[in-house]
Amino acid sequence: MAEPEKPLEVAAFESRDLGEGFIWGVVATSAAVLLGCALLVVWLYPHAASDRTLVQAPPDFPKPQLQTDPVTDRRRFHAGELEELNGSGWIDRAHSVAHIPIGTAMQQVAAEGIVDWPPP
């Protein structure tokens, strides 16, 4: 058996929808907060928008020096490092701090040990 068709109901709006006044209130509040933030920024940074010219020209920095012979530079660097490791001299003469050749230092540590080093 076929059921009889129900008549179509008239479409209606839900009575609990937000009113037009609430929406305009949210828009007005958002605009007021945005304007307040803008005014706060202008008050905190009054000279941020002013165009100031430099009193003197910016410094002229030297152009970078390119490495023309990297092999020779590396050899020179390595020779300097070896000279420092195998040489001796003062680090701070006022406080009596000097450096000794690394081979001598390793022999000294092997013979005497390191002060305050825990035993094995």
The answer to whether 87 and 101 have CB atoms below 8 angstroms apart is yes
Tell whether the model's pLDDT for residue 13 goes beyond 80. no
Tell whether the model's pLDDT for residue 117 goes beyond 90. no
* 93 residue type, one letter: R
Q: Residue 104's closest CA among 81, 80, 84, 86?
A: 86
pLDDT at 31: 98
Tell whether the model's pLDDT for residue 28 goes beyond 70. yes
Tell whether the model's pLDDT for residue 15 goes beyond 80. no
Listed range (4-8, 89-93, 97-101) with the worst mean pLDDT: 4-8
pLDDT at 118: 84
